Amino acid sequence: MQVNGRTNVFGVIGNPIAHTISPLIHRVLAESEQRNMVYVPFHVTSQLDQAIKGAFHLNIVGMNVTVPYKSEVIDSLLAIDPLAKAIGSVNTLVRRENGYEGYNTDLYGLKRAMESEGITLQGKTIIILGAGGTGRTAGFLCAKEGAKEIYLLNRTLEKAVEIADHVNTYFQRDTIKPMALGDYGKITKEQVVVIQASSVGLSNPEHVIIEDENFYKRVAVGFDIVYQPFETKFIKCVKESGGQAYNGLKMLLYQGVEAYEIWNNCKIPSRVIEDLYEQMKEVMEL
Ligand code: ATR
């Protein structure tokens, strides 16, 4: 693609940003549709609000926002999608007449990734391991999709309690039960769906948040947010106990696809998404 006077500029703000895969995602999608756009990383180390204002006045059409700015960026927005507001996390900005509107495509990324593997959440018993930013997003998604019951387990109990209170109030239903991580043995349900939303296992094939094989006997489906290594120890544990298990690369894929579709008001065909997934694996050496 040749940059010219009509090229629309998109980008991603974060710190650090050097390892982002998002430029590849949006280049492949733009090429598939022959759109005249570029997507560039912006390394913002301070003055986030100034950066967002500058982006607006430079006519940047859409932005992604990543760590550590997904909450802080909310103060710089003109408007915010109600669900993104409730989650308290924004990763996608859409240019409007007087400023940016914020969305959360991480939630839809997780939803579409799970759907693509045939995993449904409605009526299910779900265990979420980890109550950081991703655990919070997973909690909102599971409640939104009508899970029967959700156990949110975290090493630091208070964080799980805070998320559970927040989500249960938002949906006006006591769906999420917060628990200390060490209390997993108290869950007696069978055939559960587990979302591994902690950072345990990230870059380390030896580490897993729960070692106990009795736990894995209850797991029908495991979804690990981590994708590096491609097969985490969590995934191995689930598979060894006879369950199905998937990693988080498709969540990364679909949060990007969802952002692109919002910006360009389009729907990307599944064969393009599948091809993009293969290219991501290749570039990331997974
Ligand atoms: P993210 O935004 O990607 O979810 P995060 O907010 O840093 O990342 O959250 C990391 C999660 O992994 C937290 O739930 C954290 O537990 P605490 O809230 O108790 O810190 C969890 N985590 C990280 N290291 C862990 C470990 N060694 N054992 C158990 N949980 C761990």
Q: What is the dihedral of CA 210, 215, 216, 222, to 10 degrees?
A: -70
At 86, the pLDDT band (50, 70, 90 cuts) reads: very high
For the chain, the average pLDDT equals 97
Say if ligand 1 is within 6 A of residue 156 CB: yes
What phi and psi values does residue 247 have, to the nearest 5 degrees? -100, 180
At 181, the pLDDT band (50, 70, 90 cuts) reads: very high
How many angstroms does the Cα of residue 110 sit away from the middle of ligand 1? Answer: 18
Please tell me the total number of residues recorded for the chain in this structure.
286
pLDDT digits (tens, 9 = 90+) for 243-278: 999 999 999 999 999 999 999 999 999 999 999 999
The answer to whether 193 touches 125, Cβ cutoff 8 Å, is yes
pLDDT of 7 strictly over 80: yes
Say if ligand 1 is within 6 A of residue 209 CB: yes
d(CA 64, CA 282): 23
Q: 172 burial class (0-12, 13-18, 19+ CB within 10 angstroms)?
A: exposed
pLDDT digits (tens, 9 = 90+) for 127-174: 999 999 999 999 999 999 999 999 999 999 999 999 999 999 999 999
Q: How large is the average pLDDT for residues 59-64? A: 98
- Residue 155 CA: which ligand 1 atom is closest? 19
Token look-up 């007087």 returns 98
Q: How large is the average pLDDT for residues 208-225? A: 98
User: By percentage, how much of the chain surpasses pLDDT 90?
Assistant: 100
The predicted pLDDT at position 126 comes to 98
At 106, the pLDDT band (50, 70, 90 cuts) reads: very high
Provide the 10 A C-beta neighbour count for residue 32: 16
- Residue 129 CA: which ligand 1 atom is closest? 14
The predicted pLDDT at position 159 comes to 98
Report the Cα–Cα distance between both ends of the chain, in Å, rounded: 27
pLDDT of 15 strictly over 90: yes
At 1, the pLDDT band (50, 70, 90 cuts) reads: confident
Question: Ligand 1 pocket: which of 155, 179, 195, 211 to mutate (most atoms <8 Å of CB)?
Answer: 155
d(CA 160, CA 154): 6
Global pTM value:
0.96
The predicted pLDDT at position 58 comes to 98
Choice among 53, 70, 250, 267 that is catalytic: 70
Q: How large is the average pLDDT for residues 204-210? A: 96
pLDDT of 21 strictly over 90: yes
How many angstroms does the Cα of residue 236 sit away from the middle of ligand 1? Answer: 20
pLDDT of 62 strictly over 80: yes
Q: How large is the average pLDDT for residues 182-210? A: 97
Q: How large is the average pLDDT for residues 221-246? A: 98
Say if ligand 1 is within 6 A of residue 207 CB: no
> 53 an active-site residue?
no
pLDDT of 20 strictly over 90: yes
